[in-house]
């Protein structure tokens, strides 16, 4: 297997954020492997999503349910729809991460971000880091795990409607 260039990994992260900002959820969902997860830990340096509570820990089925809710015509809490914007620092490819194994098509990319979610007159700012565990497949790069670590992960939050 040929190693994927850092630029392609970085472009993937930017493309994923753009799909979310454009509320283009179906292509975004297709970026995940069938066994992929979206994880937002509740504690700093949390190591296991299954043994500890998380803000979110969703497999592809639960992600699909959320996408269907967000795009449904009878989701009155989303009329008008929430919107979002990602401001990303340039992603870094984490060659030394334990899960990175370029010889076997496994990559880890870390990105600091500011994220704004808005609906009507309400606007909420979040800051943190996204860590993408990517795998090379015959269809291209896919997300095996997207971990979103918020700076204030242990704060009390209102509803987070969209995906960071």
d(CA 34, CA 54): 21
The residues, any chain, with a CB within 8 Å of residue 119's CB and separated by 6 or more, are: 78, 80, 81, 82, 83, 161
Q: Is residue 120 part of a domain?
A: yes
Digit-coded pLDDT (tens) for 114-137: 999 998 888 999 999 999 999 999
The residue range of the domain holding 82 is: 6-44+52-150
Beta strands at 106-119 and 122-137: parallel, antiparallel or unpaired: antiparallel
Higher pLDDT pick, 87 / 71: 87
Q: What is the mean pLDDT of residues 21-26?
A: 96
**What whole-number distance in Å separates Cα of residue 144 and Cα of residue 23?**
21
Query: Does 164 fall in a domain?
Result: no
Per-residue pLDDT reduced to its tens digit, 91-120 = 999 999 999 999 999 999 999 999 999 988
Residue 125 lies in a domain: yes
Cα 109 to Cα 134, 142, 161: the distances in Å are 8, 12, 24
- Global confidence as pTM: 0.93
What CATH number does the domain containing 103 carry?
3.10.450.50
Give the whole-angstrom CA distance, residue 22 versus residue 35: 25
| 1 has a pLDDT exceeding 70 | no
In a domain, 21, yes or no: yes
Q: Is the predicted pLDDT of residue 83 greater than 60, yes or no?
A: yes
> Residue 27 domain-assigned?
yes
User: How do beta strands 92-93 and 106-119 pair?
Assistant: antiparallel
Q: Give a yes or no: residue 1 inside a domain.
A: no
Residue 156 is assigned to a structural domain of this protein: no
Is the separation of the CB atoms in 78 and 117 below 8 Å?
Answer: no
Q: How many structural domains does the chain have?
A: 1
Cα(21)–Cα(34) distance, rounded to whole angstroms? 23
Is residue 109 situated within a structural domain? Answer: yes
**The two three-digit tokens of residue 152, written as one number:** 């204030």
């Amino acid at each position: 297997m040929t190693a994927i260039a850092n630029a392609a990994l970085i472009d993937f992260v930017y493309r994923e954020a753009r799909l979310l900002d454009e509320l283009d959820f179906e292509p975004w969902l297709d970026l995940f492997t069938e066994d992929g997860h979206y994880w937002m830990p509740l504690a700093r340096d949390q190591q296991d999503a299954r043994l500890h509570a998380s803000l979110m820990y969703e497999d592809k089925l639960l992600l699909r349910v959320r996408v269907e809710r967000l795009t449904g015509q009878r989701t009155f809490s989303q009329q008008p729809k929430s919107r979002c914007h990602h401001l990303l620092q340039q992603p870094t490819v984490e060659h030394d991460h334990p899960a990175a194994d370029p010889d076997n098509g496994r990559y880890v990319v870390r990105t600091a971000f500011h994220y704004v979610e808005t609906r009507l007159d309400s606007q909420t700012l979040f800051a943190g880091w996204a860590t993408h565990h990517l795998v090379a497949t015959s269809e291209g790069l896919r997300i095996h795990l997207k971990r979103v670590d918020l700076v204030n992960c242990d704060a009390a939050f209102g509803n987070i409607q969209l995906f960071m």
